[in-house]
Amino acid sequence: MNAPLKHTADATTAEEGLAAENMHAPVDSKTATEVAMRNTLLTPRFYTTDFDEMDAIDVTPVRKDWDELIAQMKADPNKGHFRKNEDWDHIDWDGMEPELRAEFIDFLISSCTAEFSGCVLYKEMKRRGSNSDITTLFQLMARDEARHAGFINDALREAGIAVNLGFLTQKKKYTYFRPKFIYYATYLSEKIGYARYITIYRHLEKHPEHRFHPIFKWFKEWCNDEFSHGEAFALLMKTDPKLTSGRNVWWIKFFLTAVYGTMFVRDHQRPAFHAALGVDPEEYAQSVFEKTSALSEQVFPITLDIDHPAWLPTLRKLQAANEQIAEGDRQGGLGGRLKRLAGSAKAAAAFARLYAIPAKRHEVPVQTRLEPCY
Ligand SMILES: [Fe+2]
Ligand SMILES: [Fe+2]
């Protein structure tokens, strides 16, 4: 048997990545793992799906673009990249302002969970499938997500924390999504992930004084991985025009609204983190939505009208409702439960209002493939 790989950055498969030494928790991080275990509407989830249906996809209609994308991913320009090197500055975790420290750790744990959630889903698809086009793609994507999760775990370890990913795989609840919902949700999360990382990266290029942690220096290559993953899902959806037409457009609108709304609310939960980055969460959100919408025109026939007069005010209401829910939870007892209930009703109303804003329609281009452009 081969000795276990030392670091996820060198992994050429997800299996190697998962066995790498930096994937395992050498320290007791019960709290971190508990945070990662949380399943709420706002926390990253683990997904499972109908793997046979996904295995039956025929990529013939997009063959040329498909082969190019797979060749690009196989060339693996980021092999060895996701590890600490001389650019990794020392961080004084104990000297960090407590509020920032808590929010940043929460950010890292939830990012690590999200990366790992992708790894688990993609690896499972690879394991269950027999269609070599599909299994090759999912193997490559699982490899990337294992590296991303392992790298975040490195950053957390310096703060004396690590998420027990093995425990998570076994114990975290899996949410079932039909394949088409996996396409919409995963495509969007890859593309919005790209937009989030590149927006922060470009901002810190201009304002390096706000780069309070070295991990942000890695965001450019990182977001290019997420970009390719998004491209793969765009091509998968292109194989079947039904997925992006008719009644399914209502589902697409639902996922766009849910993904954008979740990002807005979650980012507002981390005021100290955004202040340290020198970023206004609302401006940041709009800039990320703008990029994600422009990209998603490659495959979705609609985009949300984020300049509509009701858009931002309703997002703020959604955010306030969410705060009320959190307050109710903290308060506990009957009063807390009532507060939570009222908050949930307000959140549902705000979501319905966002969903009711007419979407913008456009023609989907014949040519799907895009290159990172921001
Ligand atoms: Fe990733
Ligand atoms: Fe990804």
Specify the pLDDT at position 12: 87
Whether residue 351 lies inside any domain: the answer is no
Whether residue 319 lies inside any domain: the answer is no
DSSP 96: S
Both tokens assigned to 17: 């990545």
Q: Which ligand is nearest to the CA of 115?
A: 1
The CA 338 to ligand 2 mean position distance, Å, reads 39
Q: Which ligand is nearest to the CA of 188?
A: 2
Specify the pLDDT at position 43: 76
Residue 139 makes CB contacts below 8 A (sequence gap 6+) with 13, 14, 122, 123, 126
Q: Which ligand is nearest to the CA of 111?
A: 1
The CA 247 to ligand 1 mean position distance, Å, reads 30
| Element spanning 276, H or E | helix 271-277
The SS3 of residue 297 is coil
Q: Which ligand is nearest to the CA of 121?
A: 2
Alpha carbon 159 to chain centroid distance?
23
Q: Is the dihedral of CA 333, 339, 343, 345 positive or negative?
A: positive
The CA 141 to ligand 1 mean position distance, Å, reads 8
Around ion ligand 1, residues with a beta carbon closer than 5 Å are 115, 145, 148
The CA 229 to ligand 2 mean position distance, Å, reads 5
Alpha carbon 185 to chain centroid distance?
10
In this structure, are residues 8 and 149 in contact, taking their beta carbons and an 8 Å threshold?
A: yes
Specify the pLDDT at position 2: 53
Whether residue 334 lies inside any domain: the answer is no
Both tokens assigned to 371: 């290159």
Specify the pLDDT at position 336: 95
Whether residue 321 lies inside any domain: the answer is no
The CA 293 to ligand 2 mean position distance, Å, reads 18
The CA 148 to ligand 1 mean position distance, Å, reads 5
Whether residue 373 lies inside any domain: the answer is no
| Side chain identity at residue 208, one-letter code | P
In this structure, are residues 316 and 353 in contact, taking their beta carbons and an 8 Å threshold?
A: no
Specify the pLDDT at position 184: 96
Whether residue 330 lies inside any domain: the answer is no
Whether residue 196 lies inside any domain: the answer is yes
Alpha helices of 239-310 — where are they, by DSSP H?
248-268, 271-277, 281-296
Around ion ligand 2, residues with a beta carbon closer than 5 Å are 190, 226, 229
Whether residue 226 lies inside any domain: the answer is yes
Both tokens assigned to 150: 């392992």
Both tokens assigned to 296: 């998603």
In this structure, are residues 89 and 214 in contact, taking their beta carbons and an 8 Å threshold?
A: yes
Written as tens digits, the pLDDT of the chain (374 aa) is 456 667 888 888 888 888 887 776 545 567 777 777 776 666 788 888 999 999 999 999 999 999 999 999 999 999 999 999 999 988 889 899 999 999 999 999 989 989 999 999 999 999 999 999 999 999 999 999 999 999 999 999 898 888 888 778 888 888 899 999 999 999 999 999 999 999 999 999 999 999 999 999 999 999 999 999 999 999 999 999 999 999 999 999 999 999 999 999 999 999 999 999 999 999 999 999 999 999 999 999 999 999 999 999 999 999 999 999 999 999 999 999 999 999 999 999 999 999 999 999 999 888 888 888 88
The CA 136 to ligand 2 mean position distance, Å, reads 15
Residue 46 main-chain phi, psi, to 5 deg: -105, 140
The CA 343 to ligand 2 mean position distance, Å, reads 33
Number of domains in the chain: 1
d(CA 168, CA 44): 12
Both tokens assigned to 84: 């600490």
228: containing domain: 8-303
Q: Is the dihedral of CA 76, 77, 80, 81 positive or negative?
A: negative
Which CATH number fits the domain that encloses residue 41?
Answer: 1.10.620
The CA 194 to ligand 1 mean position distance, Å, reads 9
